[in-house]
Amino acid sequence: MLTDRFERVHDYLRISLTDTCNLRCVYCMPDEKIKCMPSSQLMTVDEIDQLGRIFVNNGVRKIRLTGGEPLARKDAGEIIERLSTYPVELTMTTNGVLADQYLDLFLKVGIRSLNVSLDTLNPESFFALTKRDHWHKVWRNIHLMLESGLHVKTNTVVMKGVNEQEIVDFVALTKDLPIHVRFIEFMPFQGNLWEHAQVFPASQMLELIGEKFSFIKLLDAKNDTAKKFKVLNHEGTFAIISTMSSHFCAGCNRMRLTADGKMKNCLFSRSEVDLLGALRSGQEIEPLIQLCLDQKEKALGGQFLQDYEKIDASLLQNRSMIAIGG
Ligand code: SAM
Ligand code: SF4
């Protein structure tokens, strides 16, 4: 079992397959000219497989593939096939642009649930937020996934003055669709020009939703980051990920592996442990995984306190979100 200093058991690994993407979301990859990692620095399929197996042998029970856009990687299919042979729940976070090409594979290997990012229901706003004209594609692919019986959760990063007015439209979608819409508070990462004034906190999201719908709180699982709710008589649910206004670090069971094979013990951790370099030079990996966990801070990577209005984002030491793997 992989345990940290605070007796949190870590059985969930998020693996980033790439730091490239077919979208350019302003909050994630704000600089169009951002340099991607050279492919020699990325984990190969075999290396992902070798490192993934070590984590599974040490108690990991859930793996999420992410990125960058995981499906933008040419050998994404091969990686999915390999990891699907592990005794874990395998899942993915994707922007959905290429999901139709992988639907048969998802079903064949037993992927049951996918997270799809969608920040707006308006094609023009989508273009403004992502610099790409792919809203209709994503929308169609979400419907294809639902029709094929997949459990679909959408991720919406809510930014004040940008898309908070759409929250109720997303909740309205849950009336007839068995979809699970999730709202994420805007988080600071390197280069994303985060300012506390752009955070639209969970309390205000609930207020807005409450003006239009009557909803109930659903039970959350032990390690859930999202607080789940349901509007009475709606098919789907909605949830809020309140990292900035009310963190959930006490129940954290997550570890991350970046596309260049660095282990991060938290989304906001300053430190990284180079597992890929160690693998390539024939070192033992297990002690390094434990070393990384031993450095895990109690909350928020030890980088900021809960009062998000006092955060000076210029002092944070971290990668950009696209290079971490969300
Ligand atoms: N490309 C895939 C996608 O967009 O779903 C996977 C990678 S993306 C980095 C993973 C998740 O992180 C997405 O749901 C995205 O909306 C979220 N994300 C990225 N930057 C964020 C930020 N600054 N604050 C909150 N969530 C963010
Ligand atoms: Fe790409 Fe996902 Fe980041 Fe958007 S959030 S730029 S889709 S990696």
How do residues 139-162 score in pLDDT, each as one tens digit? 999 999 999 999 999 999 999 999
Cβ of residue 69 lying under 6 Å from some atom of ligand 1: yes
User: Given this model, what pLDDT does residue 30 score?
Assistant: 66
* Ligand 1 midpoint to CA 284 (Å): 32
Ligand positioned closest to the Cα atom of 20? 2
User: Given this model, what pLDDT does residue 32 score?
Assistant: 62
Alpha helix locations (H) across the chain? 45-57, 76-83, 99-109, 123-130, 135-147, 167-173, 202-212, 275-280, 286-294, 321-324
pLDDT band at 295 (very low <50, low <70, confident <90, very high): very high
pLDDT band at 47 (very low <50, low <70, confident <90, very high): very high
User: Given this model, what pLDDT does residue 60 score?
Assistant: 98
102/230 Cα distance (integer angstroms): 30
Ligand positioned closest to the Cα atom of 183? 1
In angstroms and rounded to an integer, the radius of gyration of the C-alpha atoms of the chain is: 19
The answer for residues whose C-beta is within 8 angstroms of residue 275's C-beta and 6 or more apart is: 51, 257, 261, 262, 263, 285, 288, 289
Domain-by-domain residue ranges, the chain? 12-324
Q: Is the pLDDT of residue 177 over 70?
A: yes
Best of 117, 120, 300, 322 for a ligand 1 pocket test (most atoms within 8 Å of beta carbon): 117
Ligand positioned closest to the Cα atom of 21? 2
**What atom in ligand 2 is closest to the CA of residue 21?**
1
Of 49-58, 89-98, 111-120, 220-229, minimum mean pLDDT range: 220-229
Place of tokens 């607080």: 227
* Ligand 2 midpoint to CA 25 (Å): 5
Best of 24, 25, 26, 154 for a ligand 2 pocket test (most atoms within 8 Å of beta carbon): 25
Looking at residues 31-54, what average pLDDT do you find?
90
* Ligand 2 midpoint to CA 71 (Å): 11
Looking at residues 244-249, what average pLDDT do you find?
91
pLDDT band at 36 (very low <50, low <70, confident <90, very high): confident
The answer to whether residues 222 and 251 touch, using CB atoms and an 8 Å cutoff, is: yes
Beta strands in 210-258 (DSSP E): 215-217, 226-231, 237-241, 254-257
Q: Is the pLDDT of residue 318 over 90?
A: no
User: Given this model, what pLDDT does residue 323 score?
Assistant: 83
**What atom in ligand 2 is closest to the CA of residue 157?**
5
18/205 Cα distance (integer angstroms): 32
Q: Is the pLDDT of residue 296 over 80?
A: yes
User: Given this model, what pLDDT does residue 304 score?
Assistant: 81
> Mean pLDDT in the chain?
95
User: Given this model, what pLDDT does residue 325 score?
Assistant: 80
161: alpha, beta or left? (left if phi > 0; alpha if psi -120 to 50): left
Give how far the C-alpha of residue 245 lies from the chain's centroid of Cα atoms, to the nearest Å: 18
Q: pTM for this structure?
A: 0.96
Tokens of 190: 């390197």
pLDDT band at 35 (very low <50, low <70, confident <90, very high): confident
Q: Is the pLDDT of residue 305 over 80?
A: no
Best of 34, 91, 155 for a ligand 1 pocket test (most atoms within 8 Å of beta carbon): 155
**What atom in ligand 2 is closest to the CA of residue 69?**
8
* Ligand 2 midpoint to CA 62 (Å): 22
Strand order in the sheet with 113-117: 215-217, 226-231, 237-241, 180-185, 151-158, 113-117, 89-94, 62-66, 12-16, 254-257, 262-264, 273-274
3/6 Cα distance (integer angstroms): 8
CATH number of 12-324: 3.20.20.70
Ligand 2 pocket residues where CB is under 6 Å: 21, 23-25, 28-29, 67-69, 95, 117, 322
Tokens of 172: 């309205």
Looking at residues 190-198, what average pLDDT do you find?
90
